[in-house]
Amino acid sequence: MTQTHTIRRPDDWHLHLRDGDMLRAVLPATTEHFARAIIMPNLVPPVVTSADARAYRDRILAALPESADFTPLMTLYLTEDTDPQDVAEAHASGLITAVKLYPAGATTNSASGVANFDKVSAVLEKMAEIGLPLCTHGEVTDSAIDIFDREAVFIDRVLDPIRRRHPDLRVVMEHITTSQAVDYVRSVDAGLGATITTHHLVINRNHILAGGIKPHYYCLPVAKREEHRLALRSAATSGDRRFFLGTDSAPHTDANKLLPCGCAGCFTAPNTLSILAEVFEQDSALANLEAFTSLNGPAFYGLPLNEDTLTLVRDMPAFPGHIDTPDGPVTIFDPDMPLHWTA
């Protein structure tokens, strides 16, 4: 039996690092394994302007563990007031790698997101012109739409119309959770990709709701039925260049998760690679792990591949249940299965 598995060093194409004490507490878990990450801008207040992104990048760089070799790829949080010129300048200077669309109210810290998509048309037009990708949180916020259907409805009502209006716009559907999203991405040859999280490859909605409510499995978009998890797994493990890893590692303190109205998000940065190796091996697809973690993302974003490598060793990893932060403990995602690879 193979005892080691070496891949190009991976990148994380969707990551929440937060700020301040939490940033310093969670950053080492990512820099230990990943060379680059797309940094989500949903801080309070959000990272809206190029000046905000520059300042946040500097705070991340200042918080890096000594000897870490890590590049944060910054994003701007799209609002109805975003200035196309500011976006273009941030892109031209190399400061930002993408712009993030949150429908207003869709998820954690999305209140300043977009309610009227017509109002961001000029920004999207500029992004299409300069080749700057749009990352989408793909859920409608219409309270009449069942939460388990909000991704599929977003594709029909919002995403497809945007892509028709801006055919040259490069789009990443973030953290997809449904077979409809997998099918939609597969129906397009170029200019559309999707990130898939670690946890959505492992859990379905039963993990959250059966046998007692499990707040640590609650994230957005919420995990769906088993058939959707299987569609995600087949997309991720297939090696298809349109699908790549975005962990959506989203730390919240236990105090904020375990509330009557608890926060959405799973903290997966520490054990993501061990879990992914397990998932890909279970599906006899370890040979495609590198495509998912290290090749497809850079290809979509037009960035060079990482030159260094990461070796997984067949050795049962030991993860603590949580990490300690000055704000309180943050629970590490429990994959609910034995793991056999250490990164």
Query: Beta strands of 142-183 (E only): which ranges?
Result: 171-173
Site for Zn ion in 219-248 (CB under 5 A): 248
| Partner from ligand NCD, Zn ion, none contacting 74, C-beta within 5 to 8 A by type | none
Single out the residue of 42, 237, 288, 325 in contact with ligand NCD (rule: CB under 6 A): 42
Q: Least distance (Å) from ligand NCD to the CB of residue 197?
A: 8
Is residue 220 a contact residue for ligand NCD (CB under 6 A)?
A: yes
Q: Name the residue with tokens 């949903």.
A: 42
- How much of the chain is in helix, strand and coil states, percent to nearest 5? 40, 15, 45
Q: In the numeric block, which tokens belong to residue 39? A: 């940094």
CA-to-CA distance for 92 and 198, rounded, in angstroms? 32
Single-letter amino acid code for the residue at 21: D
CA-to-CA distance for 189 and 276, rounded, in angstroms? 26
Q: Determine whether 142 is an active site residue.
A: no
Q: Least distance (Å) from Zn ion to the CB of residue 298?
A: 20
Q: Least distance (Å) from Zn ion to the CB of residue 133?
A: 16
| Partner from Zn ion, ligand NCD, none contacting 296, C-beta within 5 to 8 A by type | none
CA-to-CA distance for 294 and 156, rounded, in angstroms? 30
Looking at the Cβ atoms of 193 and 265, the one nearer to ligand NCD is 265
Is residue 286 a contact residue for ligand NCD (CB under 6 A)?
A: no
Site for ligand NCD in 88-117 (CB under 6 A): 107-108
Looking at the Cβ atoms of 18 and 170, the one nearer to ligand NCD is 18
The H or E element that residue 38 is part of is strand 36-39
CA-to-CA distance for 287 and 6, rounded, in angstroms? 10
Q: Least distance (Å) from ligand NCD to the CB of residue 320?
A: 21
Strand partners, 244: 195
> Catalytic positions, please?
248
Contact residues toward ligand NCD (CB under 6 A) are 16, 42, 107-108, 137, 219-220, 248, 250, 264-265
